[in-house]
Amino acid sequence: MSRIQVSCTVNGDPVDFLCDADGSLLNTLRDELGLTGIKEGCGTGDCGACSILMDDQLHCACLIFAPEATGTTITTVEGLADGDHLTPLQECFLEGAALQCGICTPGFLVAATALLKHNPNPTETEIRYALAGNLCRCTGYDKIVRAVREAAAQMREASA
Amino acid sequence: MTIAEDPATTSPGYKWVGTRMIRPDGFEKVTGRARFGADIKLNGMLYGHVLRSPHAHAKIVSIDTSEAEKMAGVRAVITGADFPDPSGPAGDQDLQRNVIAREKALYEGHVIAAVAAQTRAQAKAAAEAIKVVYEVLPHVMTVDEAMAPGAPLLHPKLMTKGVDPAPTEPSNVASRAVYQGGDLDLGFAESDVVVEGTFTTKPVHQGYIEPHAAVADTTPNGRTTLWCSSQGHFTMRSLSAKVLGWEPSKLKVIPAEIGGGFGGKTTIYLEPLAVRLSQKAGRPVKLVMSRDEVFRATGPASGTKIVGKLGFKNDGTMVAGELWMAYEAGAFAGSPAGAGSMTALAPYTVPNFLIEGFDVVVNKPKVAAYRAPGAPMSSFAVESLIDEAAKKLGMDPIDIRLKNAVTEGCQATYGPKFPRIGFVETLEAIKNHPNYKIPLGPNQGRGVASGFWFNAGLNSSATVHVNEDGNVIVVTGSPDIGGSRASMALMAAEEFGIDAARIQPVVGDTESVGYNDQTGGSRTTLATGAAVIEACRKVIADLRGRAAKQWDVSLDKVEWVDGQAQHVEGTQPPLSLADLAKGWNRTGGPLTASAALNARGVGSAFSTQVVDLEVDPDTGHVTVLRYLTAQDAGRAIHPSYVEGQLQGGVVQGLGWALNEEYIFDRNGKMENPGFLDYRIPVASDLPMIDTIVVEVPNPGHPYGVRGVGEVGIVPPLAAVANAVDDAVSRRIHDLPLSPVRILDAIINKDS
Amino acid sequence: MAHVHFSAGLRSGFTGGVAVLEVEATTVGGLIKALDARFPGIGEKLSSGTSVAIDGEIIPDAEFESLSATAEVHFLETIGGG
């Protein structure tokens, strides 16, 4: 099967890559573009470790065929920070010890970024349901939810 | 060597221990820079794919790899024939057979062969072209099936150890552990209240989000660099060497960051396969498990069957305890039946007891460690029965535990007397907490349970360097699963008296630091911490000596205070680390020291927990309303990461109690090898997990540390069962308490 | 004099029901040798997969540990953690 050329924007940069028609966007981002911040936890869309934003919507990259990325704007965990300026979410995860092994952290940061874009003042319940598609086995979610809540508060204050 | 000075009865006036610094590896983890096992990529790297048995039990009649070897992109194919014949002690042979099958496939998913090729797709296609002829054999999937007379045998020479008289015929029972004290019949005769029941638990998986991954780069003579995410790269080295038939020194193992372990990554699966493939292909090989493979073919926790009986006096004194327990080992001997037998009644003084634990092989993947291995299951039975007794006696569940709680000097049911411990403090912490008095509504219930875990010491090494700028590097060999680098930095900062931001903790590979046992067993902060402390103290002694030289005074005139060498009479300006580093050419050379020890002074851990939950009587669904855990950490070096361990253990326990289980079909194949149907707790299932970190310092450690990683998973199973009983008056003895099971109990109340 | 306590498994398997014994020994290794002389076969059992608790402290790899004049000794199965 011949490979397909795809052009899209990833983390603010225009990129071109080749992929198999049935290749997953997850493998392509990791292997072709070297964006290993995205993780494969299950490959079947159940764990959220491969969470990306595609045209501002939250997706599991493992459930997207790579050619579908054509013409889209993709954000991965590597594209959240601005140079060495971490986002409030990233800062709050660090301050709040919202990570232990850290494998789920990229997915959570992307998913929480999506949440706060659409809902800048979420309740605890809204946070928990928005993040229900991201599995964490280490933290029990307590410190993650607190970090998202704190980051949301900081972001609201900053834009007030 | 040991560190026994400075028992941590000194009151904390710590500057760094007990603070919540940002973990030094945090920036990499929140920006996607941190490299886990599957993130490693080397030039010329091949991709591996493993062929696994589709049968739960089968003789391997023949394996024909000829076609696979000719396929596009294929560079190497291996089978059991590519490894030395299993040799050594029985446990070593089992490991060798588990990594790749030899005569038989013993569980669905057992490795049969592996392929390395240019692309994943090519490797997979070639693996599927390997022709295997199996002679399918009958299989056994439960302890009842395995222990039944005439059951098909997994291992024709397995003779049960620990029974007297020794058996003359093989069976599927590998061993029996027994603990006994007093006179059981007398104890039950004296009892006013007797409670009993038969309990079952299912196999569950540690559920780490990162699948196993290894990259091996092996030269033709065998010298190998192996990247893997594991709970102990030195352990990966020694175990891989056993399977490969090599001296461990041939392998250099570089730890990748690890995405969760909980015990499941303390042993090897892919590593020897990757090495042998790489050796044959002459190129680096990457092997990564799919989630499906992780479930089918790594090491879950044992399913169990436990028959328990406890006897109490009317005042709540426990006078008799009897447990018959069978633990599934999976395909090879080695369940934690012994540990479960030792921990079951450990929190309590009970004069008359008999505990038997049987290690039983079944055609399931060989079990591996999972947080306090063996303890959650036996505690499920004991803590449920204690609750039933409390109910019968009209006693508060905490009070009945206080009545029987072990304290310092009590004889443990597993043998020795307890040193200083903090069990009572955890019970009182729960009892005195406002949560314990919150009124409950209809269909709501409250459940309490306690748990115990030994914790481990074992071997650790550390090296400490002072750089020219006066900052410090601390090198250990303990993979960082949960923030241990931060703890090492805090302890080193406390020793040196400098800002923790000036300490750089590093996890070194097997050639860069001395031997370190695994990160697991709740040992890292204690043992690796002890090695770090000792190495720091050696450097500080050296620093004092350098200052003494520079000042031309005797050593006793120099003290180390707040990061500086100070003259005791104040007749010299102090010298900082940077000052002393500047002068090191003239005073004896660079500033560096190592320490290595087999840690002593291990402190055990106790946890008491209370859960409030609500049962939907129409669906059997459980909503967890509140959860509070109190655990004795001795001394919390980094409180946030200690809290994290407590919370993580609780939530895994909740999953185990409410929902998680391996489901097998009649052919012994796992039906739910994915996160959709093996449903672990998600954020929307849970409330905040409130923690009380009790600190009864461990006199055996300079900072009073007790391991915290494991015991938290022990109480939730019974806490949930007790709360369900409190909510809907149904005592359920079988886990998980899934909606189906609870609804069935509600509807069929008389069965 | 080490005061040695035997678990139920050791009692039924090796010591014929003897639960407690006083043994002259200054190290754990010496103790195991002395016990093996009295209960043949126990030495091998105690030398692998067994930890020792001396006055309440559990110590794996205890062969060269010294024993005080009043040490209370228990032999325990070595436990794995996770």
User: Does residue B149 have a cis bond before it (omega within 30 degrees)?
Assistant: no
State the pLDDT confidence band at B6, using cuts at 50, 70 and 90: very low
State the pLDDT confidence band at A1, using cuts at 50, 70 and 90: low
For the entire predicted model, the pTM comes to 0.97
Residues 31-70 of A with CB under 8 A from B: 31, 34-44, 46-47, 49
Sign of torsion, CA B582 B584 B586 B587?
A: positive
Are B626 and B609 spatial neighbours (Cβ–Cβ below 8 Å)?
no
Tell whether the model's pLDDT for residue B202 goes beyond 50: yes
From C61, C76, C82, residue closest to B266, measured CB to CB:
C82
Cα(B571)–Cα(B129) distance, integer angstroms? 82
* Whether A86 and B683 lie within 8 Å, measured CB to CB: no
- CATH number for the domain harbouring residue B610: 3.30.365.10
Q: Are residues B495 and B414 in the same domain?
A: no
State phi, psi for B594 to the nearest 5 degrees. -125, 160
Q: Are residues B645 and B738 in the same domain?
A: yes
Residue B671 identity (one-letter amino acid): E
Q: Residues B262-266: what's their mean pLDDT?
A: 97
Closest CA to B479 of B235, B211, B241: B235
* Whether C79 and B456 lie within 8 Å, measured CB to CB: yes
From A44, A99, A137, residue closest to B207, measured CB to CB:
A137
Closest CA to B511 of B315, B234, B746: B234
CB-based contact, C5 to chain B, within 8 Å? yes
Q: Are residues B595 and B619 in the same domain?
A: no
From B23, B210, B686, residue closest to A141, measured CB to CB:
B686
Looking at the domain assignment, is residue B703 inside a domain?
Answer: yes
The chain B residue lying nearest C58, using CA atoms, is B602
Are B477 and B234 spatial neighbours (Cβ–Cβ below 8 Å)?
yes
pLDDT of residue B421: 97
Test the B interface: residue of C67, C77, C78 with most B CBs within 10 Å? C77
Are B286 and B50 spatial neighbours (Cβ–Cβ below 8 Å)?
no
DSSP 3-state assignment of B348?
strand
The secondary element (H helix, E strand) that includes residue B292 is helix B291-297
Cα(B614)–Cα(B436) distance, integer angstroms? 15
Q: Residues B268-277: what's their mean pLDDT?
A: 98
The secondary element (H helix, E strand) that includes residue B476 is strand B472-476
Chain B residues near residue C11 by CB distance under 8 angstroms: 180
**What domain range includes position B475?**
26-34+457-599
Q: Residues B644-672: what's their mean pLDDT?
A: 98
Cα(A127)–Cα(A114) distance, integer angstroms? 11
For C29, half-sphere exposure in the C-beta direction (CA atoms, 13 angstrom radius) is 4
* Whether C9 and B416 lie within 8 Å, measured CB to CB: no
Q: Helices in B12-117 by DSSP H: which ranges?
A: 26-31, 66-70, 90-99
Residue B564 identity (one-letter amino acid): Q
* pLDDT, chain B, mean: 96
DSSP 3-state assignment of B54?
coil
Q: Are residues B534 and B648 in the same domain?
A: no
Beta-carbon count within 10 A of A7 CB? 12
CB-based contact, B483 to chain A, within 8 Å? yes
Q: Are residues B475 and B515 in the same domain?
A: yes
Closest CA to B632 of B433, B428, B423: B423
Looking at the domain assignment, is residue B691 inside a domain?
Answer: yes
pLDDT of residue C80: 86
Are A139 and A103 spatial neighbours (Cβ–Cβ below 8 Å)?
no
From C12, C56, C82, residue closest to B417, measured CB to CB:
C56
Residue A76 tokens read as: 């991965």
State the pLDDT confidence band at B2, using cuts at 50, 70 and 90: very low
Q: Say if the ipTM goes beyond 0.90.
A: yes
State the pLDDT confidence band at B7, using cuts at 50, 70 and 90: very low
* Whether C81 and B418 lie within 8 Å, measured CB to CB: no
Q: Residues B8-12: what's their mean pLDDT?
A: 48
% residues pLDDT > 70 (chain A): 99
Last residue of a domain, one of B542, B575, B599: B599
* Whether B369 and C59 lie within 8 Å, measured CB to CB: no
% residues pLDDT > 70 (chain C): 100
∠ CA B269-B300-B211 to the nearest 5 degrees? 50
Q: Which residues pair with B253 in a beta bridge?
A: B226
Per-residue pLDDT tens over the stretch C32-57: 999 999 999 999 999 888 899 999 99
Domain A4-79 architecture: Roll (3.10)
DSSP 3-state assignment of B132?
strand
Rg (CA), chain B: 27
The secondary element (H helix, E strand) that includes residue C54 is strand C50-54
Test the A interface: residue of B30, B287, B525, B676 with most A CBs within 10 Å? B30
The secondary element (H helix, E strand) that includes residue A142 is helix A142-159
* Whether B416 and C80 lie within 8 Å, measured CB to CB: no
Are B721 and B745 spatial neighbours (Cβ–Cβ below 8 Å)?
no
* Whether B373 and C81 lie within 8 Å, measured CB to CB: yes
Per-residue pLDDT tens over the stretch B302-360: 999 999 999 999 999 999 999 999 999 999 999 999 999 999 999 999 999 999 999 99
CB-based contact, B598 to chain C, within 8 Å? yes
Cα(A100)–Cα(A84) distance, integer angstroms? 22
Rg (CA), chain A: 16
DSSP code for B36 = B
Q: Which residues pair with B689 in a beta bridge?
A: B627
Q: Are residues B652 and B550 in the same domain?
A: no
Tell whether the model's pLDDT for residue B3 goes beyond 80: no
Cα(B263)–Cα(B642) distance, integer angstroms? 18
State phi, psi for B187 to the nearest 5 degrees. -60, -45
State the nearest Cα–Cα gap between B309 and chain C, in angstroms: 19
Sequence spans of domains, chain C = 2-77
Q: Are residues B413 and B517 in the same domain?
A: no
Beta-carbon count within 10 A of A71 CB? 10
Q: Are residues B501 and B628 in the same domain?
A: no
- In the structure, do chain A and chain C come into contact, i.e. share 3 or more CB pairs under 8 Å? no
Residues 539-598 of B with CB under 8 A from A: none
State the pLDDT confidence band at B164, using cuts at 50, 70 and 90: confident
* Whether B29 and A38 lie within 8 Å, measured CB to CB: no
State the nearest Cα–Cα gap between B356 and chain C, in angstroms: 10
Number of B to C CB contacts under 8 A, please give it: 99
Per-residue pLDDT tens over the stretch B435-493: 999 999 999 999 999 999 999 999 999 999 999 999 999 999 999 999 999 999 999 99
Tell whether the model's pLDDT for residue B5 goes beyond 60: no
Q: Are residues B592 and B646 in the same domain?
A: no
pLDDT of residue B750: 62
Cα(B212)–Cα(B240) distance, integer angstroms? 15
Sign of torsion, CA B220 B221 B225 B229?
A: positive
DSSP 3-state assignment of B463?
strand
Return the partners of chain B (3 or more C-beta pairs < 8 Å). Answer: A, C
Chain B residues near residue C53 by CB distance under 8 angstroms: 415-416
From C5, C13, C72, residue closest to B162, measured CB to CB:
C13
Sign of torsion, CA B332 B336 B337 B339?
A: positive
pLDDT of residue B719: 98
pLDDT of residue B751: 52
* Whether B523 and C56 lie within 8 Å, measured CB to CB: no
Q: Are residues B631 and B735 in the same domain?
A: yes
Crossing angle between the packed helical segments A105-118 and A142-159, to the nearest 10 degrees = 40
* Whether A47 and B650 lie within 8 Å, measured CB to CB: no
Looking at the domain assignment, is residue B694 inside a domain?
Answer: yes
Chain A residues near residue B210 by CB distance under 8 angstroms: 39, 41, 101, 103
Residue B468 tokens read as: 């020219």
The chain A residue lying nearest B27, using CA atoms, is A94
User: Does residue B736 have a cis bond before it (omega within 30 degrees)?
Assistant: yes
Crossing angle between the packed helical segments B484-496 and B529-551, to the nearest 10 degrees = 30
Instruction: Tell me which of 1.10.357.10, 3.40.50.2300, 1.10.150.120, 1.10.510.10 is the CATH number of domain A88-159.
Output: 1.10.150.120
Say if domain C2-77 classifies as CATH 3.20.20.70.
no
Q: Helices in B460-593 by DSSP H: which ranges?
A: 484-496, 529-551, 577-582, 584-587
Closest CA to A16 of A32, A37, A35: A32
DSSP 3-state assignment of B698?
coil
CB-based contact, B209 to chain A, within 8 Å? yes
Crossing angle between the packed helical segments B90-99 and B233-244, to the nearest 10 degrees = 90
Cα(B157)–Cα(B167) distance, integer angstroms? 11
